[in-house]
Amino acid sequence: MSLRNKAMSGVIWTIIQNVVHRGMTLVVFVILARLLEPEDFGLVAIAGLLSVIGQEIAKMGFAAAIIQRKELEERHIDSVFWFVLLMSSGLYVLLVLIAPIMEKQFDAVGLASVVNWLGLGLIVMAISKIPESLMRRHMQFKYLAIRTMIGAAIGGVVGVVCAVLGFGVWSLVAKELVEIVVSSMIVWLSSDWKPRAVFSRRHLVQLMPFGLNEFGSSLLQILNQHLDRMVITMSMAPAVLGQYFIGKRLMLILQQTSNQTISSVMFPVLAQVQGSQERFRSVYLKTNGMIVLVAIPIFSALIMKGDVIVIWAFGGQWKEASEVAKIFGGVGLIQSFSMLAQPALKAKGYPEVAFKIGLSRVILDMVLFYYLRTLGIMGIAYAILLRSLIMAPIIIFIAKKIFAFSMGEYIGHMKALIAGLGVFVGVIMVLQVVIETPHNGIAIVMMQLVIAGLAYAATVYGLDGPLIREAISIKRRLPKS
């Protein structure tokens, strides 16, 4: 298969994986939230955070180096496999030892047992990580997408069944472990490569320069994504973390299904046209417009009606989560205007700029969390909203300088969308006055959102029809060999 066809196949399977996987995740998420308590989600959120950190430390960037290295030998692959497996095993033992201390420190009853079981995922994932990297290297995205969807489906079913039977927090543990084991088994069985009893320190050292750089970037990404969870874990009860986790997680699922799908699919397209400033600028501005086009109705609905939707879908015990979700609706909307910038910077050959943006986010988060943490989870959520408001114009300005577009061009691509946003919000406000909703019934709310969505679409189409008609033909822009 040619590189062009492999790339196109990867694009298609990436879209299928993101949409199907996130869709299943959302359904399972809603069901489990109705059956379980906030404290259950809080305990698993703490244990999951430890596992995520452990995974990155164990890989040390070597898994990514397997994908990146041009001249790859069998000894490179074997050495990385045994290194990652050894590191993962050692980290699991460390987690088991410190888990009781953390349970006592955070006053989180049951945390040690949850960590002990979820930590086993470290070892299971270590066994499949190198076969997975080799599949990515050879662009075998079909197998990776299938394993993700099958793992999520089986894990979700197991989690829901356990929750119905009254297993509480262990429903979430079972869901995560089953998903990891099934996904890893599919990767292992689908891969032609199997490890040999060979380890070469010299070959491992050869991968170290790229690996350590990737490791630093991965740790920064973890801080970007999970620093808020760390702050809440250290200063608040697991039940409070559970409320926050649900509110933020809803936004992330919506963001990953919509905006990040477009962003990840367009990365190879931007990389392919990086040599032409004019084409790169055109693709960037159009794709950025597509991301905002999708984001506005989704996150505006979350901002204006998130409390009603969350309580209806998840249950009355998630009142605080519903308020957190509304704030994160604003975060998702603001981030959509600059979301494409960082992958575009990497595609253009400016990874160090993307790294500095990520570092700036972390530093700003630390400052804002310090001053707003006394307001509880709402303060943490507002801190992220404020950081997004500060960073978005800075990121847009950086993109403007590097990608060489004018603010007039950028605003030209955004003006119809901003008008559509105004119409969406205005229609909702008018309908709230015209149609009485004494208890904010979900049927009335959904009708309001549908009418506002249609008005939004009509406004954008009337002002800028080409934004939709000029959808980028991905296949035509992919490399042919």
Q: Both 339 and 411 in a single domain? A: yes
Number of domains in the chain: 2
C-alpha distances in angstroms, 247 versus 322, 369, 418? 6, 18, 26
What is the rounded CA–CA span in Å between residue 143 and residue 13?
9
- Of 192, 468, 472, 249, nearest in space to 377 by CA: 249
On the 0-12 / 13-18 / 19+ scale of CB atoms within 10 A, 189 is exposed
Is residue 250 situated within a structural domain?
no
| Residue where a domain stops, chosen among 235, 250, 274 | 235
At 363-393, the pLDDT tens digits run: 999 999 999 999 999 999 999 999 999 999 9
Q: Which two tokens stand for residue 450?
A: 């549908």
Tokens 């986010």, located at residue: 361
Instruction: Give the per-residue pLDDT at 7.
Output: 55
Is residue 155 situated within a structural domain?
yes
At 387-425, the pLDDT tens digits run: 999 999 999 999 999 988 989 889 988 999 999 999 999
Counts for the chain of helices (H) and strands (E), in that order: 21, 0
Is residue 455 situated within a structural domain?
yes
Instruction: Give the per-residue pLDDT at 157.
Output: 96
Instruction: Give the per-residue pLDDT at 4.
Output: 54
Instruction: Give the per-residue pLDDT at 396.
Output: 93
What is the rounded CA–CA span in Å between residue 312 and residue 260?
26
Q: Both 280 and 216 in a single domain? A: no
Q: Both 4 and 134 in a single domain? A: yes
Instruction: Give the per-residue pLDDT at 471.
Output: 46
Q: What is the overall mean pLDDT for the chain?
A: 86
Q: Both 211 and 334 in a single domain? A: no
Instruction: Give the per-residue pLDDT at 397.
Output: 94
Q: List the domain range (segments joined by +) for residue 190.
A: 1-235
Q: Both 355 and 400 in a single domain? A: yes
Q: Both 171 and 211 in a single domain? A: yes
- Of 74, 208, 200, 210, nearest in space to 130 by CA: 74
Is residue 252 situated within a structural domain?
no
What is the rounded CA–CA span in Å between residue 337 and residue 400?
13
Is residue 243 situated within a structural domain?
no
Tokens 């209806």, located at residue: 312
Instruction: Give the per-residue pLDDT at 280.
Output: 85
Q: Both 285 and 334 in a single domain? A: yes
Is residue 396 situated within a structural domain?
yes
Q: Both 319 and 393 in a single domain? A: yes
Sequence-ordered alpha helix ranges (H) in 165-236: 169-190, 201-206, 208-235
Q: Both 86 and 20 in a single domain? A: yes
HSE toward the beta carbon, residue 289, CA cutoff 13 A? 27
Q: How many C-beta atoms lie closer than 10 Å to residue 4's C-beta? A: 16
Instruction: Give the per-residue pLDDT at 191.
Output: 86
Q: Both 450 and 400 in a single domain? A: yes
Instruction: Give the per-residue pLDDT at 247.
Output: 94
In the predicted model, residues of the chain with pLDDT beneath 70 are 1-11, 261, 264-269, 271-272, 436-440, 467-481
What is the rounded CA–CA span in Å between residue 452 and residue 456?
6
| Residue where a domain stops, chosen among 235, 251, 269 | 235
Is residue 240 situated within a structural domain?
no
Q: Both 231 and 302 in a single domain? A: no
Q: Both 75 and 116 in a single domain? A: yes
The sign one gets for the Cα dihedral 415, 417, 420, 422 is: negative
| Residue where a domain stops, chosen among 190, 219, 235 | 235
Instruction: Give the per-residue pLDDT at 480.
Output: 47
What is the rounded CA–CA span in Å between residue 17 and residue 142?
9
